Amino acid sequence: MKKTSSRIREEIAKLQDVLKAAETREAERIGRIALKAGLGEIEIEDSALLAAFEDLTNRFRTDPATRKHGSVDTRSRSSKPSEGAQPEAASISPGTAQGRTGEA
């Protein structure tokens, strides 16, 4: 049984709605975690923040320890950053943001 093009368009529209809702949930989750980590207090260009997130994504995709359990205790790991590497966002504790003036 072949589907008509209008039926396929309807299914695509429904799937786009589902995708948008899933992306919103993911963005809210990541945003809450980023705020808890203190990223909301750091003045940083979007492009630099995106690059840091991409580095973090690559780390979690390539680290076997994170794939097995879904999380890693970074305090128990010792790793030397490669030459020219930026510090990871996870190493910044809340309240130590650069440029923080103490204003509420």
Domain ranges of the chain: 1-66
In angstroms, rounded to a whole number, what is the distance separating the alpha carbons of residues 57 and 37? Answer: 16
Structure confidence at residue 102 (pLDDT):
40
Residues of the chain with pLDDT under 70: 66-104
DSSP reduced 3-state for 43: coil
- pTM value? 0.54
Nearest to 29, CA basis, from 50, 37, 92: 37
Structure confidence at residue 63 (pLDDT):
78
First-to-last alpha carbon distance for the chain, in angstroms, is 63
